[in-house]
Chain A
Amino acid sequence: MSHAPVIGVLALQGDVREHLAALAAAGAEAREVRRPGELAEVDGLVIPGGESTTISKLAVLFGVMEPLRARVRDGMPVYGTCAGMIMLADKILDPRSGQETVGGIDMIVRRNAFGRQNESFEAAVDVKGVTGEAVEGVFIRAPWVESVGAGAEVLAEHDGHIVAVRQGNALATSFHPELTGDHRVHALFVDMTRAKRTAESL
Chain B
Amino acid sequence: MAFQSIINLSYLIGAIAFVWGLRLLSSPDSARRGNLLAAFGMGLAIVATMIMPLAGADNNYAWIAGGMIVGGGAGYISARRIKMTAMPQMVSVFNGLGGACAVVLAMAELNHFYQGEITMDTGSLVIALLALLIGGVAFTGSMLAFAKLEGLVSDRFLLLPKHNIINNIMLLGLFAGAVWLTIQGSEAGILLAVGVMLLSLVYGVSFVVPIGGADMPVVISLLNSFSGLSAASAGLIYNNNIMIVGGILVGASGTILTVLMCEAMNRSLLNVLIGGFGGGASGSSSRGAAGEQVAKEVSYSDAAIQLFYSRAVMFVPGYGLAVAQAQKVCKEVDDILEANGVQVSYAIHPVAGRMPGHMNVLLAEADVPYPKLLDLEDANSALKDTDVVIIVGANDVVNPAALDDPGSPIYGMPVLNVWDAKSVIVLKRSMSPGYAGIQNQLFFHERTKMLFGDAKDSLQKLVAELKKM
Instruction: Answer yes or no: do A and B interact.
Output: no
Tell me the A residues contacting B by CB distance below 8 Å. none
Tell me the B residues contacting A by CB distance below 8 Å. none
